[in-house]
Structure 1
Amino acid sequence: MATEQSTGRPAPAAPADGREDRAARGPRADCTVDRSGDLAVRVVLPGAAAGAQLLLRRRGDEQEVRVPLEPAAPGDGDALRAVLPAAVRLAEGRWDAYALPAPGAGRLRLAPGLNDLRALVDQERDPGVSPVAARIPYATKHANLSVRAWLRPAHAEVEELLVTGAGTAVQARLLGARLSDDAVVEARCRQDPRQVRQAPARRAGEGEEDRFTFTVPHRELAAARSGTHDTWDLWLLPAPGAGAVRVGRLLDDVPDRKKIFTYPADSLDTPRGRVRVQPYYTADNDLSVTVSDLPAPE
């Protein structure tokens, strides 16, 4: 099955945030991701002609991926099916989904149907494979179908997170790179790039060559804060001189962890007053820690 990528401009143009006129919204699409990572999309398109396609268009630029829509199965009526193989990499970002019912026809924005994403839960990955790719079909806030994609040379996948009296304790797995005995995790302050704090990254146990643990010390971040609200992004340096690898959680069926997962906050007294320290996932499902001033007691 052929799959083509292009940077051509489709017509008509759509709003950058994926919104469409509700009256013009196209049909529902059911999505399935299998163990190999292939993404299958099934959609009912009455009157579709030969050459119909599934169109994925990345927000923010003109990148496109097109996949043929072909008869889904004998006796399945007007249902068509497209399969985006795992080998076809989607650049990192959010891809809006459309149907092109015939060559030269206008595109139809797809609405989300049923998603079978069971294969994404607790999936096993070969730690030596690079790049690390992930994609999750999901319903946007405007009830349209889109695909969230990640594509990184290496990735540190969070497996466990616990807020303790010492800080944020994390167990993670390194994919796409090798972990050395001298690996460290850096907390980098967005508001003041000169502020960096390090913690050792230790192997999780005997025979765990790719799994490691670390603790982000909340008190150190609180003492180093530059303003009333600081954000510290977490990066793994797997070996001296190696490129930094972002710490986060991408390899499951949750496209927007920030909206779902909330972790306990730690309150600390500092010379500048009382502060709140709390880990959270960003809009890209990366792990960060915030340090915020708390109001003085009345």
Structure 2
Amino acid sequence: MSATHNLAKALVENHEVELVALRRNRDQAFFPLDPRVKTLALTDYRKHSHTYDGDDPQIDVFPHIYPNDPSDKKPWISRLAEKRLLEYLATTDADVVVSANPRITIMLAYAEGDYLKVAIEHSRPAQYGPHIRDALFADAYPKMDAITAPTPEELKTIARHVPGVRHMLAELPNCIPAHEGRMSTGENKIVVAAGLLKPHKGFADVIEAFSTVAPRHPDWSLRIYGSGPEHANLRRKIDETDSNNQVFLMGPATPVIPEFAKASLFVLPSEREAFGNVTVEAMAAGLPAICYDAPHGPRNIITQGEDGYVVPVGDKEALAEHIEKLISDDDLRRKMATAAVANVVRFQEAAIAERFERLVETMRARRAVPREAAAAVTPQGDVLVRVDGLAAGSDARLVCKDVRKKAEDVVLPFVGGEALVPAVGRLAEGDWELTISAVDSDLPLHSTGCDTTYIPSMKHHRPEGPALSLLLPYAHTDGTLRVQSRVRAQHVEVATVRAGATSIVVDAAAWGVGLGGDSLVEAVHREEADKNFTLPVKPGADGHFTATLDNAAAARLHTSGTEDIWELWLLPDQESARIRMCKLATEVLAPMNVFTFRYPVVKSSGAPIRADAETKPKAGGWRGRLAAAPAAVAGVGGPHHELRPYFASNGQLSLKIVDKK
């Protein structure tokens, strides 16, 4: 909350600023607030106040949107506060609304106002409980205009969890007020640490580290400021290390900044630290800092060897070594103190206000970029992307991004508001997100429609270049425009699958590869190679062929109580690599959901077939024919097996055999 108050103070120099709280239960704010900042509390829990809301029946009703903790017996934030916040957000004349709390960010996503929406993260959102994190990532973040975090590492984490918002991310360190009190003289032989006394803050480590240094420097002491559940354990640690005359638990100090002026060195041995306001405050007071390399703040605050040191988390020997180094060398300590004061200016009010104002201008510029786009497949198979409202002379570019991040971006020009994605030679196999490059950002395009009318009648077999090269535009589940690129140097397209009671017949065509008299279809088991088998191929005209599976023989390969899955491949000859048999020459995005088949049921008896001398792999990966194995014998009362031919998520023809219940 102090960072929010500091940012409000920084912005009020040039802007009208209002802080809105969901509830108020004390007369004075815990952190000092600039009187120029307006304040509004939406519910009042002070019984002596004339605006007291404690007798409103909705004060004890759980909210509908705001995520209270699931274990709460009574709502911390009530339905009354929630309704008042939604009303405020719907009627405010603000240009920018900032949420500094993830729960309120979820509320902000529902707001109807036309203002810019900013979510400021001071913590690590991936670590939030699922009742907050899921709603934040899936629903709230995508509706923001910007999402900030204090460190670049945290921005990368958010981008990894929510790729669709990476264009909104901006680094905004916590705002720290310019130091106005007394500065450290560097003369007092005091090491200071401060924070909540919790296990992850590592104060036990600094006590141990300092206790190894203290005997050689009896005139130095360590002061730890703060309160918390670790107080008793830290007291015992002082006793155990016999440091009672040099290590002191000072209790809480509010504010703690004046205490920094009494010291000459600051230590923060925290195991995790989203940023580290106290480190900046200590450095601003003229203290070099020694910190654990906690994720992620200290390494983004301290310039190693210039204004302090970052040491590996848990390395108490390194902590002690650097403490001794600085308390032993007055000149080095003073040099680092001077650098610390200069370096942390970038986190103070004027610098952070300037960063925030630049962010606002960027958000406004991004909003002005048209992002509604329609895609249409041309008779030649190219994809024409048209962005509504894009000026004819715009220097914006269409940027195609590989969703898997395996291929480089493909950048194409807009001409008259249109960009053409060629069917051949530009997009590698995979899914591609379409963005518009403008305002130094790649902004996702939102689909207004995808016309794939020409694909069903298109001749997909290409005599030159890749055998198959098909672009399929579609709207992703989040509404953004994407293109699925299906590219195969050689390809086997499945035409039909006829699943009958005794056999499954597959008709397909091989593109970009010839068929010979020894061509086979190979069924490759996903887990057990000794269940692999092959089928003979009956060639036809123009690369077409037929392969027939004997259902009973295949069922003999099934192990009862399990799922057996095979993927089907074409083996053109004994020297060539196998080729997936797929259903890809279609405008259907997910063939597995559309092209479905009957599931024959087979009754069989006897032991399952295992590879013998005739069916074991031969040189070059060549398989024996299933027909060479002993024939299956249908038996009365034997196990029932269900054969399920299907197209997998990658379009490959597969076969699953399960027990029929």
* TM-score, scaled relative to structure 1: 0.81
Deviations 1:42-90 (A, max 9, x none): 112456863211111112225311111121xxxxxxxx10001223232
CA distance in 2: counterparts of 1:88 and 1:133, whole angstroms: 9
Change in 2 beyond 3 A, CA 1:167/1:89? farther
- Percent identity reads 26
1:191 aligns with 2:557: no
Q: Is the 8 A contact 1:187 1:235 kept in 2?
A: yes
Match of 2:19 in 1: none
Alpha-carbon distance in structure 2 between the residues aligned to 1:160 and 1:129: 25
**Alignment correspondent of 1:273:** 639
In structure 2, the residue matched to 1:257 is 591
- 1:102-251 aligned at under 5 Å gives the runs 102=438, 104-126=439-461, 128-131=463-466, 132-204=468-540, 208-226=541-559, 228-251=562-585
Between the aligned partners of 2:583 and 2:163, the Cα distance in structure 1 is 24
Residues 127 and 174 in structure 1, CA contact (< 8 A), matched pair in contact too = no
Query: Which whole-Å deviations, capped at 9, do the CAs of 1:102-136 have from their partners, x for residues lacking one?
Result: 3x522221222222212211322446434222221
In the alignment, structure 1 residue 27 sits paired with structure 2 residue 386 = no
In 2, Cα distance between equivalents of 1:188 and 1:139 = 34
Is the 1:174–1:210 contact (alpha carbons within 8 Å) kept by the matching residues of 2? yes
Q: Deviations over 1:175-200 (max 9, x none)?
A: 11111122111111112123211111
**Is 1:70–1:81's contact at 8 Å kept on the other side of the alignment?**
yes
Distance in 1 (CA, whole Å) between partners of 2:163 and 2:640 is: 42
Q: CA separation in 1, counterparts of 2:452 and 2:413?
A: 22
Native 8 Å contact 2:603 2:640 kept in 1: yes
Q: Is the 8 A contact 1:153 1:176 kept in 2?
A: yes
SS in 1 for 2:457: coil
Which has the higher relative contact order, 1 or 2, with Cα contacts under 8 A spaced 6 or more apart?
1
2:427 match: 90
Distance 1:34 1:14, change over 3 A: farther
Cα deviation, residue 40, structure 1: 0.8
- Taking the aligned partners of 1:90 and 1:195, their CA distance within structure 2 comes to 37
Distance 1:128 1:242 in 2: 19
AA matched with 1:66: V
Q: Could you say if the C-alpha distance between residues 264 and 19 of structure 1 is closer, same or farther in structure 2, counting changes exceeding 3 Å? A: farther
Contact 1:128 1:177 in 2 (8 A): no
Check the 8 A contact 1:236/1:244 in 2, yes or no: yes
Report the AA paired with residue 109 of structure 1: P
Contact 1:129 1:175 in 2 (8 A): no
Matched positions, count: 271
Return the alpha-carbon distance in structure 1 between the equivalents of residues 645 and 545 of structure 2: 18
Greater shift in the superposed pair: 184-193 or 158-167: 158-167
Q: Secondary structure at the match of 2:471?
A: strand
Say whether the 8 Å CA contact 2:472–2:485 is kept in structure 1.
Answer: yes
Distance, in Å, in 1 between the alignment partners of 2:413 and 2:462 is 32
**1-side partners of 2:391 and 2:575: how far apart?**
58
TM normalised by structure 2 equals: 0.38
Q: Residue 553 of structure 2: SS of its match in structure 1?
A: helix
| Structure 2 portions without partners, runs of 5+ | 1-154, 169-365, 606-637
Q: CA deviation at 1:216?
A: 2.5
Measured in 1, the distance between the counterparts of 2:492 and 2:594 equals 20
Pick from 52, 62, 65 the counterpart of residue 396 of structure 2.
52
CA offsets 1:171-225 (integer angstroms, 9 cap, x no match): 1111111111221111111121232111111123xxx131111123332332112
Q: 1:6 corresponds to which residue?
A: none
2:431 aligned with 1:68: no
Closer, same or farther: CA 128–200 of 1 in aligned 2, 3 Å: farther
Is residue 89–residue 133 contact of structure 1 (8 Å, CA) maintained in 2? no
Could you say which structure has the higher helix fraction?
2
Query: Which one is further off, 117-126 or 147-156?
Result: 117-126
Deviations 1:2-53 (A, max 9, x none): xxxxxxxxx99855786459x9997332112123221111112456863211
Alignment of 1:290 with 2:631, yes or no, is no
Larger Rg: 2
Closer, same or farther: CA 81–161 of 1 in aligned 2, 3 Å: same
Secondary structure class of the residue paired with 1:194: helix
CA RMSD of aligned residues (A): 2.7
Q: Aligned pair in 2 of structure 1 residues 45, 149: CA closer, same or farther (>3 Å)?
A: same
Secondary structure of residue in 2 paired with 1:61: coil
SS in 2 for 1:115: strand
CA contact (8 A) 1:233 1:289 kept: yes
CA distance in 1, matches of 2:489, 2:589: 20
Is 2:408 aligned against 1:42? no
CA distance in 1, matches of 2:503, 2:481: 38
Provide the C-alpha distance between the structure 1 equivalents of 2:379 and 2:161, rounded to a whole number of angstroms. Answer: 32
2:207 maps to which residue?
none
Aligned residues of 2:506 and 2:548 also touching (Cα < 8 A): yes
**Greater displacement, 231-240 / 216-225:** 216-225
State the secondary structure of the residue aligned to 1:70. coil
1:278 and 1:289 in contact (8 A); partners too: yes
In 2, Cα distance between the equivalents of 1:130 and 1:292? 41
Q: SS of 1:221's equivalent?
A: helix
